[in-house]
Amino acid sequence: MRVYNTLSGRKEELVTLEPHRVKIYACGPTTYNYIHLGNARPLVVFDTLRRYLTYRGYDVTYVQNFTDVDDKIINRSREEGEEALKLAERYIDEYFEDADTLNILRADIHPRASQHIEDIIKTIEKLIDKGFAYEVDGDVFYRVKAFKEYGKLSGRSVEDMLSGARVEVDERKEEAVDFALWKAAKPGEPFWDSPWGQGRPGWHIECSVMATKYLGDTIDIHGGGSDLIFPHHENEIAQAEALTDKPFVRYWMHNGFLTINSEKMSKSLGNFFLLREVLDKFPADVVRFYLIATHYRSPLDFDDGKLEEARKALGRLKTTLMLVDEFQQNSVSADTDLKEIELLDKVNELRQEFIAAMNDDFNTARAIGHLFEISHLINSYLATAFQINAL
């Protein structure tokens, strides 16, 4: 099985840390709103990956977090007049309602940032001890220049980042590229006690802490949308590897954007469709089919017409399954004729090609193509067989 690794920029043979076991961490949503169709793409992509690896005999451990402490949540809680953690909790429930409808398997563990504050504080203390972080006025920053390999995932160099840095940087930071591990509490924000006073964790630290807590220092696959490569995943590497001196992730997998008129679908751009709006108009299996009919690394442009096409295409596959059922129920003779043997041989060949496509960096687009070839063969076989039966 080969997987495209963002870290090396090429497809690599999947060799897991332990044979037949695979440990996956996927970045989950920041829970301040209902999820939109763009958020649903990584859910379906990594759910499909997980199911396929299980089908291929792997024992899969899957962890997906909830970011329930964040600026966006705090801003939203001010607008709504609802306490930030309560609001986040409410949207976690809403997330599960949407994800369950979409038939996304629940992760083995769904850790939440707010429930790992102690682990996060301990990690930050260790980073300070090792010289990778420093405190200023109740904030703690990661010292990017101390981590020599910074930029290896996104292919950026610290020097370029510094020369491109905007002018209004926080002057308390040693370097403009340094990022917050801990933020001192401002009035009205949720906070926890820490050695640096009352505050809350930054976004990046929660993921590397929760990933290593549940999956170990080195995990097999880390997934997420390609918008997370920089800075989020770059920072996760810096935090985790500075601490353990071990590779954090063996394979970094990133899905492409869902776009509308070639623009990324996002809440901040306002060009989004909520998943539940889409699910009101189309069944969940059609939405899933639409989201995986394109290879996960390719951009996927959205319009209603494409969902309608997906509905028809999936309908054709379902019709074939129905015809097969009907044929098996009404088949008079139990004998397998020569034509049927020929058909089964071809179907088996195509089944192997389906597996080969999936093994080649989870090429669902090509794999689904093979499903249609199978459906085609069966349809023409059945068309003849039904005629004979009718005689």
Residue 2 makes CB contacts below 8 A (sequence gap 6+) with 11, 12, 13, 14, 359, 360, 361
What is the spatial distance between Cα 329 and Cα 314, in angstroms, rounded to a whole number?
23
Residue 268 makes CB contacts below 8 A (sequence gap 6+) with none
Q: Shortest approach of Zn ion to residue 289 CB, angstroms?
A: 27
Task: Note if the bond before 231 is cis, omega within 30 degrees.
Answer: yes
Amino acid at 140: V
Nearer to Zn ion, 228 or 367 (CB): 228
Where does this chain touch Zn ion (CB under 5 A) — which range of 19-27, 121-129, 167-175, 352-360?
A: 19-27
What is the spatial distance between Cα 377 and Cα 346, in angstroms, rounded to a whole number?
8
What is the spatial distance between Cα 88 and Cα 94, in angstroms, rounded to a whole number?
10
Q: Shortest approach of Zn ion to residue 230 CB, angstroms?
A: 13
Length of the chain: 391
What is the spatial distance between Cα 219 and Cα 353, in angstroms, rounded to a whole number?
29
Other C-beta atoms closer than 10 Å to the C-beta of 39 total 24
Nearer to Zn ion, 219 or 307 (CB): 219
Q: Retrieve residue 40's tokens.
A: 């649903």
First CA to last CA across the chain, in angstroms? 48
User: Please, which of residues 321-340 interact with Zn ion by CB under 5 A?
Assistant: none
Nearer to Zn ion, 27 or 40 (CB): 27
Site membership for Zn ion, residue 27 (CB under 5 A): yes
Where does this chain touch Zn ion (CB under 5 A) — which range of 125-133, 171-179, 200-208, 301-309?
A: 200-208
- Indicate the angle between helix axes 37-55 and 284-292, nearest 10 degrees: 80
Nearer to Zn ion, 210 or 358 (CB): 210
> Taking every pair of C-alpha atoms in the chain, what is the biggest distance, in angstroms?
88
Where does this chain touch Zn ion (CB under 5 A) — which range of 22-30, 142-150, 239-247, 363-371?
A: 22-30
Q: Shortest approach of Zn ion to residue 349 CB, angstroms?
A: 41
Q: Shortest approach of Zn ion to residue 207 CB, angstroms?
A: 3
Asked if residue 112 lies in contact with residue 68, where contact means CB atoms within 8 angstroms, the answer is yes
Q: Shortest approach of Zn ion to residue 201 CB, angstroms?
A: 12
Q: Mask of contacts with Zn ion, 268-307, x by CB under 5 A?
A: ----------------------------------------
Nearer to Zn ion, 27 or 161 (CB): 27
Q: Shortest approach of Zn ion to residue 211 CB, angstroms?
A: 8
Site membership for Zn ion, residue 26 (CB under 5 A): no
Nearer to Zn ion, 76 or 233 (CB): 233
**Binding residues for Zn ion, total number by CB under 5 A:** 2
Nearest to 220 by CA among 211, 231, 228: 211
Q: Shortest approach of Zn ion to residue 316 CB, angstroms?
A: 38
Nearer to Zn ion, 249 or 367 (CB): 249
Nearer to Zn ion, 24 or 27 (CB): 27
Q: Shortest approach of Zn ion to residue 353 CB, angstroms?
A: 35
What is the H or E stretch that residue 117 is in? helix 117-129
Site membership for Zn ion, residue 207 (CB under 5 A): yes
Where does this chain touch Zn ion (CB under 5 A) — which range of 23-31, 192-200, 279-287, 314-322?
A: 23-31
Sheet holding 179-184, edge to edge: 133-136, 139-142, 179-184, 199-201
Residues found near Zn ion in the complex (CB under 5 A): 27, 207
